């Protein structure tokens, strides 16, 4: 993370996320924080293209809008899982059409992720982050495209009962 505020360790055996520092900059307006972050992404990751994992949900749409408003070049990466995320995929594709942005589209069948389980399951064992397998799949594709992957996500949950989240570990404010 920026200024080493967070670390991620992903090995075949484990996926760890650690917060290293507290809030450095407080923003009163979430849009100002998003613009600041978008511009930092552009500044620090300008050597390769940015790909936004765009699900069609409100989190990734927020990031897409922030990147667009800050005029940071990016390519939406849409994952269509047949019969699973049709509505979300439709909206992500609609957003791209409305903003005249050409996405990269990955298509998968639900059983494709069963095949991925052996590759990624050990990484997320002992966490409640099984959904991260989709993120690993998307990131693997972005690495193949020689780019950087950007995600928009809700509050990251660190335990199985949902009581330890990124937000309540850090308190209020944006972490940059």
Q: DSSP code of 24?
A: S
pLDDT of 136-172, one tens digit each?
Answer: 788 889 999 999 999 887 655 555 555 555 444 443 3
Per-residue pLDDT of 70-121, as tens digits, reads: 999 999 999 999 898 999 999 999 999 999 999 999 998 888 877 776 766 6
Interval 45-56: pLDDT, tens:
899 999 999 999
Helices 30-44 and 58-69: angle between axes, nearest 10 degrees: 70
Does the pTM surpass 0.85? The reply is no
Q: Assess contact for 76 and 108: CB atoms under 8 A.
A: no
What's the number of CA atoms in the CB half-sphere (13 Å) around residue 19? 17
């Amino acid at each position: 993370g920026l200024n080493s505020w967070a670390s991620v360790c992903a090995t075949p055996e484990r996926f760890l996320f650690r917060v290293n520092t507290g809030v450095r900059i407080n923003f009163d307006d979430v849009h100002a924080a998003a613009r600041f972050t978008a511009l930092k992404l552009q500044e620090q990751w300008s050597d390769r293209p940015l790909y936004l994992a765009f699900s069609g949900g409100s989190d990734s749409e927020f990031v897409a809008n922030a990147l667009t408003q800050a005029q940071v070049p990016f390519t939406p990466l849409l994952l269509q899982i047949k019969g699973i995320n049709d509505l979300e995929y439709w909206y992500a594709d609609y957003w791209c059409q409305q903003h005249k942005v050409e996405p990269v589209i990955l298509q998968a069948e639900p059983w494709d992720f069963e095949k991925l389980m052996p590759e990624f399951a050990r990484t997320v064992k002992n966490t409640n982050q099984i959904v991260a397998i989709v993120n690993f799949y998307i990131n693997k594709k972005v690495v193949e495209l020689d780019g950087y992957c950007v995600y928009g996500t809700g509050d990251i949950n660190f335990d199985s009962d949902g009581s330890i989240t990124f937000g309540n570990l850090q308190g209020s404010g944006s972490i940059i």
